Amino acid sequence: MGNLNKEIRDGDHPDITEERLKSTFDTHKMAAQIYNSQRAADRRNEITSAVLKIPELQDIKPLPFLSREEKVEEAARKIGILSEHLYDLVNVNDGAELYHLNNVVIGGEGNPLALHGVMFIPVLQAQATDEQKKKWLYRAMKREIIGTYAQTEMGHGSNLRKLETTATYDKATEEFVLNSPTTTSMKWWPGNLGKSTNYAVVVATLIINEKDYGPHSFMVQLRDENTHKPLPNIEVGDIGPKMAYNATDNGFLKLNHLRIPRTNMLMKHVKVEKDGTYIKPPHAKMSYSAMVHVRAHMNNTMAYFLASSLTIAVRYSSIRRQGHINPKEPEVKVLEYQTQQHRLFPHIARAYAFSFAGAETVRLYEKVKKDMESGETELMADLHALTSGLKSVVTYLTMQGIEQARQSCGGHGYSMASYISEIYGIAIGGCTYEGENMVMLLQLARYLMKAAKAVKEGKKVEGLVGYLSAPDNRHSLIDRTPEKSYDTYLKTFEHIARQQIFRAFDKLEKMLTSGLPHSEAWNKCSVELTRASRLHTRLFIAQAFARRVHDVVDFHIKEALDDLLHLHLNYELLDVASYALEDGHLCGEQMNFIRSELYRSLGKIRPNAVSYVDAWELSDMELRSVLGRRDGHVYENLYKWAQNSSLNRTDVLPVFEKYLKPLMMSARKNSKL
């Protein structure tokens, strides 16, 4: 039998090899859990190996040394080369393969086709008629045209019903007139809108006979297909540098009474007839499908960002030696410190948890997508509630985890050589895009309040909120849990979520009964409501993790995942325990039990720490991190990396002659006086 950890190679740093030799599980088999099948895990590695053989696809230099213009150009250059090799490298119908190829070759900072694949094609697939698909979708798939999804405006992103861009139907010419009447009505933010795309699905408020029908989707050609010049009545450009994503040209768009044919409205589910008759869709929110698509996939992309930063931090922590635990022994790896373990290991568990919750979400999303094709919309509300909560909780916890990973690398974590700050910048965009987190938590809260009302009225609720009708114990039995049975833990999470959901519900009801209008009462309860949404979502994540561990067959993988789950449940419970202490569901003694289980878990995870992150099988090319190098040879490569700095091109910079020398000369002269 070979090594269980598949990353071991001759010549690696002995400290990291020592870690890998301790692995109790096969890291490639674990990758099959993370990526949902052995085949998917194999394909990732095959794609990486194939990419490594194509010299033109390698980074010209480390990305942090590129200017914004160079980043945009470099991403576009690679997209060009990739298109020559695409069909040899991946199955183009497999989103996960495409996503992986993008991460390896280009990375997370963006590329000219990012929104084309993530939103433009999905919105056409879901909302275009067959005729419209023939006209645009197939051309888009062949990349004859490049598009984006232009919804957010300078003045409105969250509140779609107040979008100011109008699409007014002109019956006489059978056209829509698209107009941005104010500065705040300009589209502002859409990815790749600024410079790369020549088409966009524009979301605008539909007006027929002066009646407002709310947001609808329209296909708009922005630029000439040959010259790429903006078409008449269109102003378009880049919105400038951002915290991260700077290889992406997020853009603005002003439409000046632009006329488009009636048939450019996406009409699979909703229609405007020639005479202006409006035929409503089977479900009012069907046109929100592109957002739900991204939200459903965000658990996995966030898990990936979190796992990337943890891979960097854990590998580095295994070669970084500083300080002593036993003064008679050599300096220890910083990974030996309990504080370092507590800082990193719970986030490793979260990355796994998000990936497992993500797999369940994508399954539900695929089902709802299929249902919608035949006009069936029953599960749309469930999916919207689930993805709204997960999107918010997962992005927020990912942000926390990445920042802990950065800090755990000390000073070198702050250098772009770690690349963690870039990953952080990219990931935290997710707290905002696809629905600002608070706004989305409040969407889930609407669903939870409906369920709570039903339960109060004596009705039985099922599915994701089924636990609200289930029997509850007055006191948690957590310290009477047999090993490897997590039922009592999950019951405690259920109790906490249930209590908070009913607390918010009762508060809201009381205000409504006192005569407060619903929207005001809602606002006054909104902090409690968002807490309810978070706790419900964290319960779902814990349940999804437990369901996955339950289903695993391989003994060693199951055991390793079980250790992570144990850590996860204890850590997360401590984080939310105040809710259960308030009503005596948990007592002080049980808190001590949870804490001691948590510390025991850290020790259990420690020998496998490097293997848990190695199992994500993130290559050096995609990590783009000196600290996270697979071989552990960090220090000599940090020095090499710094040589890329343009400041090192000459020994003396012109600023010396210009500013520093006069400053010092004058100081010296003055001190002689």
Ligand X SMILES: Cc1cc2nc3c(=O)[nH]c(=O)nc-3n(C[C@H](O)[C@H](O)[C@H](O)COP(=O)(O)OP(=O)(O)OC[C@H]3O[C@@H](n4cnc5c(N)ncnc54)[C@H](O)[C@@H]3O)c2cc1C
Rule CB under 6 A: is residue 387 a binding residue for ligand X? no
As to burial, measured by CB atoms within 10 angstroms (0-12 exposed, 13-18 middle, 19+ buried), residue 156 is: middle
What residues pair up with 621 in beta bridges, in sequence order? none
Residue range at the interface with ligand LB6ISTLD (CB under 6 A); choices 18-26, 59-67, 91-99, 518-526: 91-99
- Residue 353 C-beta: closest distance to ligand LB6ISTLD, Å: 15
User: Is residue 292 close enough to count as binding ligand LB6ISTLD by CB under 6 A?
Assistant: yes
Helix, strand, coil percentages (3-state) for the chain, rounded to 5, are 60, 10, 30
The correct pick among 102, 152, 418, 611 for binding ligand X (CB under 6 A) is: 152
Could you say which of ligand X, ligand LB6ISTLD, none residue 438 binds, taking C-beta under 5 to 8 angstroms by partner kind? ligand X
| Residue in the shown chain whose Cβ atom is closest to ligand X | 157
Nearer to ligand LB6ISTLD, 320 or 350 (CB): 350
Identify the helix (H) or strand (E) that includes residue 69.
helix 68-89
Q: Counting contacts by CB under 6 A, is residue 155 touching ligand LB6ISTLD?
A: no
Q: Which does 288 bind (CB under 5 to 8 A by kind): ligand LB6ISTLD, ligand X, none?
A: ligand LB6ISTLD
Residue among 432 and 488 whose Cβ is closer to ligand X: 432
For the chain, the C-alpha Rg in angstroms (whole number) is 27
Minimum Å distance from CB 629 to ligand X? 29
Active site residues: 434
Phi, psi of 150 (to 5 degrees): -105, 100
Q: For residue 263, what is the DSSP state?
A: G
d(CA 533, CA 496): 11
d(CA 126, CA 369): 8
Query: Residue 336 and residue 432: Cα distance in Å, rounded?
Result: 36
Residue 188's DSSP bridge partners are 252
What single-letter DSSP state applies at residue 90?
-
Q: Which residues from 306-365 bind ligand LB6ISTLD, rule CB under 6 A?
A: none
The answer to the question of residue 434 lying near ligand LB6ISTLD (CB under 6 A) is: yes
Phi/psi at 477 (5° precision): -105, 25
Annotated binding site for FAD: 152, 191
Q: Segment contacting ligand X (CB under 6 A): 29-37, 43-51, 153-161, 490-498?
A: 153-161
Residues 171-200 that bind ligand LB6ISTLD (CB under 6 A): 191
Give the residue from 195, 443, 160, 414 showing the smallest Cα distance to 312.
414
Compute the least distance from the CB of residue 449 to ligand LB6ISTLD, in Å: 8
Structure token pair of residue 50: 């194939």
Of 168, 263, 432, 619, which lies in the binding site for ligand X, with binding defined by CB under 6 A? 432
Q: Which stretch binds ligand LB6ISTLD (CB under 6 A): 156-164, 320-328, 415-423, 525-533?
A: 156-164
For residue 667, count CB atoms less than 10 angstroms from its CB and return exposed for 0-12, middle for 13-18, buried for 19 or more: exposed
Structure token digits, residue 258: 């632009």
Residue facing ligand LB6ISTLD at closest CB distance: 95
Can residue 245 be called a binding residue for ligand X (CB under 6 A)? Answer: yes
Residue 617 C-beta-side C-alpha neighbours within 13 Å: 24
Q: Which is nearer to ligand X, 157 or 276 (CB)?
A: 157
Instruction: Select the residue interacting with ligand X from 122, 215, 358, 429 (CB under 6 A).
Output: 429
Smallest separation, CB 623 to ligand LB6ISTLD (Å): 16
Measured CA to CA, the distance from residue 244 to residue 637 in angstroms comes to 24
Member of 352, 433, 447, 489 binding ligand X (CB under 6 A):
433
The answer to whether residues 105 and 78 touch, using CB atoms and an 8 Å cutoff, is: yes
Q: Which residues contact 122 (CB under 8 A, 6 or more apart)?
A: 289, 290, 293
Interhelix angle 437-456/487-513, rounded to 10 degrees, is 90
Binding site residues, ligand X, CB under 6 A? 115, 149-152, 156-158, 189-191, 245, 250, 429, 432-433, 435-436, 438-439, 442
The residues binding ligand LB6ISTLD (CB under 6 A) are 95-96, 99, 114, 118, 149, 151-152, 157-161, 191, 285, 288, 291-292, 294, 297-298, 300-301, 380-381, 384, 433-435, 439, 443, 446
